[in-house]
Amino acid sequence: MGIIEEGKYLEVHPTFLYESIATFLIFIFLIAISKKRKYKGQITLMYLVLYSFARMIIEGLRTDSLMLGDIRISQILSLIIFLISSIVLIKNVKQN
């Protein structure tokens, strides 16, 4: 897929398509395991872990990201959400 930016043709990844596919696969996975949940909120935490991980990877492919130095802001936010929700998920699974 390509775009024209400042008069130049650039090849870019269809990140919107990647995100749609990732979100659909996460949905199918969460539906499949929803009856095996151990506590309320587990599916939500799993969604946050999976989606933020996928988003972290997909954002690395974008060409129009908001940057803080050499790091994409959206990747930092996704990493924070991933880490916090992973810790809470693991903690809750061990307690239940």
pLDDT tens digits, one per residue of 38-89: 999 999 999 999 999 999 999 999 888 899 988 899 999 999 999 999 999 9
Kindly tell me if the per-residue pLDDT of 7 is higher than 90: no
The string of pLDDT tens digits covering residues 18-45 is: 999 999 999 999 999 999 999 999 999 9
The pLDDT value recorded for residue 63 is 81
The DSSP line for 30-45 is HHHHGGG-SSTTHHHH
C-beta separation of 50 from 93 below 8 A: no
pTM: 0.87
